[in-house]
Amino acid sequence: MKRVLIVDLLHPDEIRPPVVLNLLGHTIQVERKGSGGDPETARQLIVDADGAVDAIGLDGLPTSIRLGSVTRPHRDGALLLGAARQSPLVDGSGVRDGLERWAMMLADRAQPGIFAKKRVLMVPGFNHHGLAQALTRHGGALRYADPVTHFRLYDLPGVGRPMTLERAAGPTVERLSTFPFRRLAPRAGTPRRPRTSGPFEWADVLAGDVATIRRYAPARLERKTIVVEAATEEDAVDLARRGAAILVTLMPGLDAAGALGQHRAAVVEAVLVAARATPDRPLTEDTYLDLIADLQWAPAIRYLRPEDAGVNRFAFVIHPLSVDFIHRDPKFRWTAVLPDEVVEPVAALMPPILQSKVTGIVSPATGQRVEGYLISLGATPRQMMSRGERFTYERLNQAARMAERLGARIMGLGAFTSVVGDAGITVAHEADIAVTSGNSLTVAATLEAAKQAVVSMGTADLTHGRAMVVGATGSIGSVCARLLAQAIGDVVLVSIEPEKLIELKRRIQAETPGTRVQIATRPDDTLGTCDLVVTATSAFGQRVVDITRCKPGAVICDVARPPDIGQGEAALRPDVLVIESGEVLLPGAVDFGYDIGLPPGTAYACLAETALLAMEGRFEDYTLGRNIEVERVKEIYRLFKKHGLQIAGLRSHGKYLTEDALVERRRLADALRANPAAFQALQEEAAAALAKLPPSSKGVSDHGLSPKALAWAGGIAALAGLGLAARYARSRRHADS
């Protein structure tokens, strides 16, 4: 049997029974003796054990102090090195950095995104160089609490903020190298003089030593992630009581598989030294790497809040569809006193805001729980389209970093954020988080809602009918056209891009031989022959579809958000059914925490796709670009069915259609079909009324800003911007807390 002695900071009368470990083919007895923090006591324990044990470990008695690139020998620890002449003497520094880096890699594999874009506070940072290196690779900010925890620097200007390595390293290492052991590794408890809470409140992750964290951190650690070398069950209980969310221990759990790692680096190194195949093998990095590679272990990741365990998280980006949405937001109601011509462009400049948390989504098939975050941009569709693509990309990149920091592993692009530029490809390339536009489920839900609407209008079999897709060369329109061609066999494709229309027609004819495909740059001439019209354009300030030309009982499925067809236009033809694209009922007691403009539990299909992918554990870029894959649409619909999602009731301009309303539309459509003269009269009357309505789409008319507004908007934009920025800062602080 191999023997290892651990000399630590325990008081001499705190005696622990020896622990017997089976490691790398060896049985190893680990005995621990306390030095009481006294260097002379520690030296004598080393002398007494020298030659009688296979290795001696100094736990909490470092021989040197390192912070960043600055290393100094410890005044007392360095002298202990000469006390052992036969048995190898180690302090954990030989394996700590390597094990911390490896453990962080394994932890991130086990829980992808657990450290992504997080604010990290090293408590302490000294002698945790490997951990600090590993954490910086995850894209967040990393700061050091050493000057605050060990020197009580909280009354001086600026030190209430966490320090960078450059500010903390030099003087800190020099002073720490003269500290007594007990001050370097304090016990958990309450310090005689409390430390400032500012750096701890700033951080998402507290990393370093569990006793130091428990001693100097504030009483509440709401939703913090704690990453330490080792921890006991007592530590876990205390951290849970203080509100921490996750505890990660980085050293191998030598006692039992799956348990918290309770042995610090000095113990692990001493045990590995004793387990060498040949006692004379040098204690080099290569030797340790070989031994570590043979260990079968993983860092322990424990969720301290039962409600957090097993929850998959997503984020979804929203934005105001018009300036009215800004005025209605509780945080920005004060903007109603300012001209819209000023509020709209200034709001577009705002960084993303955490709008709300989505809770209560549960798959009835698997029991998988899902939570989400709604992150809002300030730009309306008109602002996004009038500015360069890079403008929106930069704000989506900021939203992606925020989403990762919140623990989301996939982000959906809502409304116009999936339209701008290349429909998510650039954002997905530049972000570390998975991204989807949600357009696959949007297509599936649209076609399902269209099918229900056509049936509701009395057409039992649309296979002998005709469908039109306006905006057919867009990302949603093109795949809708391809799928409709498979179902109906007679489609009209409308787009302002004739060269793409030709390409799409040839593709449909190749995929679905025998399909009749007609192409046009305007819908007017063939609109009256179509039973179903799908509009999916990004048009602004123009008439997308002249509804007066539709045949009696036609169905228009308006996929665009904001809609292509205004409520005033739809009212001109009470026999035509204008519906929104299919909204989705999410399973569970869903609470969006914010009014997204839909009934409780109902989501836009693009949001539902993001939640559905999280439910399935598919954290990958899913629907991106203009060329949506038909197989992706079919796959997402299978997942839709698997997890119990449902198409919500048919809606028209924000209101559900009752059965009585549908019956009345069918009755009117039948009467007009039977009486061509009455139909012609209705068309003429509707056309005259339509001529009085300004051309519009997306709720925007073709009128620009008034000269008066242009003259003075710039003058007050700066003032309005200051107000918006102040509101934003307060909301961000609230969200971060």
Alpha-carbon distance of 605 to 609, in angstroms, equals: 6
Based on the fold, state whether residues 173 and 215 are members of the same structural domain: yes
Based on the fold, state whether residues 573 and 717 are members of the same structural domain: no
Does any domain span residue 279? Answer: no
- Map residue 4 onto helix, strand or coil: strand
Average confidence (pLDDT) over 523-550: 88
- b/e string for 493-508 if b means 16 or more Cβ within 10 A? bbbeeeebbeebbeeb
- Lowest mean pLDDT segment, chosen from 150-164, 232-246, 572-586, 591-605: 150-164
Does any domain span residue 720? Answer: yes
Interacting residues of 680 by C-beta distance below 8 A, sequence separation 6+: none
Based on the fold, state whether residues 601 and 682 are members of the same structural domain: no
How many CA within 13 A on the CB side of residue 439? Answer: 28
Interacting residues of 368 by C-beta distance below 8 A, sequence separation 6+: 310, 312, 362, 615, 616, 617
Based on the fold, state whether residues 191 and 205 are members of the same structural domain: yes
Give pLDDT tens digits for 330-353: 888 898 889 989 999 999 999 999
What percentage of the chain reaches a pLDDT higher than 90? Answer: 57
Based on the fold, state whether residues 496 and 532 are members of the same structural domain: yes
Q: Residue 459 — very low, low, confident or very high, per pLDDT cuts 50/70/90?
A: confident
Alpha-carbon distance of 114 to 408, in angstroms, equals: 9
CA 523 to chain centre: 41
Q: Residue 700 — very low, low, confident or very high, per pLDDT cuts 50/70/90?
A: low
Does any domain span residue 287? Answer: no
Q: What is the pLDDT of residue 52?
A: 95
Does any domain span residue 283? Answer: no
Based on the fold, state whether residues 576 and 632 are members of the same structural domain: no
Based on the fold, state whether residues 527 and 608 are members of the same structural domain: no
State which residues form the domain around 60.
2-90
- Lowest mean pLDDT segment, chosen from 507-516, 673-682, 687-696: 687-696
- Sign of the C-alpha dihedral computed for residues 422, 423, 424 and 425 taken in this order: negative
Q: Is the predicted pLDDT of residue 39 greater than 90, yes or no? A: yes
Q: With beta carbons less than 8 A apart as the criterion, state whether 528 and 522 touch.
A: no
Average confidence (pLDDT) over 717-730: 39
Give pLDDT tens digits for 466-494: 999 999 998 888 999 999 999 888 999 99
The CATH number of the domain holding residue 233 is 3.40.50
Based on the fold, state whether residues 315 and 302 are members of the same structural domain: no
Last residue of a domain, one of 60, 90, 120: 90
69, 9, 17: which is closest to 37 by C-alpha? 9
Average confidence (pLDDT) over 590-618: 93
Average confidence (pLDDT) over 140-150: 87
Q: Residue 728 — very low, low, confident or very high, per pLDDT cuts 50/70/90?
A: very low
- Map residue 261 onto helix, strand or coil: coil
Q: Is the predicted pLDDT of residue 616 greater than 80, yes or no? A: yes
Token pair listed for 584: 């989705």
Does any domain span residue 51? Answer: yes
- Choose between 714 and 644: higher pLDDT: 644
Q: What is the pLDDT of residue 717?
A: 35
Last residue of a domain, one of 69, 90, 111: 90
Last residue of a domain, one of 45, 69, 90: 90
Average confidence (pLDDT) over 212-218: 94
Based on the fold, state whether residues 427 and 505 are members of the same structural domain: no
Based on the fold, state whether residues 458 and 567 are members of the same structural domain: yes
Based on the fold, state whether residues 475 and 436 are members of the same structural domain: no
- Distances in Å between the Cα of 656 and the Cα atoms of 164, 580, 609, 659 are 56, 10, 22, 10
Based on the fold, state whether residues 360 and 487 are members of the same structural domain: no
Does any domain span residue 11? Answer: yes
- Sign of the C-alpha dihedral computed for residues 392, 393, 398 and 403 taken in this order: positive
Give pLDDT tens digits for 248-285: 999 987 766 558 888 899 999 999 999 887 888 888 88
Give pLDDT tens digits for 270-326: 999 998 878 888 888 888 888 888 877 889 999 998 777 889 999 999 999 888 888
The CATH number of the domain holding residue 527 is 3.40.50.720
Q: Is the predicted pLDDT of residue 725 greater than 60, yes or no? A: no
Token pair listed for 11: 């008081």
CA 319 to chain centre: 17
Average pLDDT, the chain: 87
Please state the domain count of the chain: 4
Q: Residue 708 — very low, low, confident or very high, per pLDDT cuts 50/70/90?
A: very low
Does any domain span residue 391? Answer: yes
Average confidence (pLDDT) over 699-703: 55
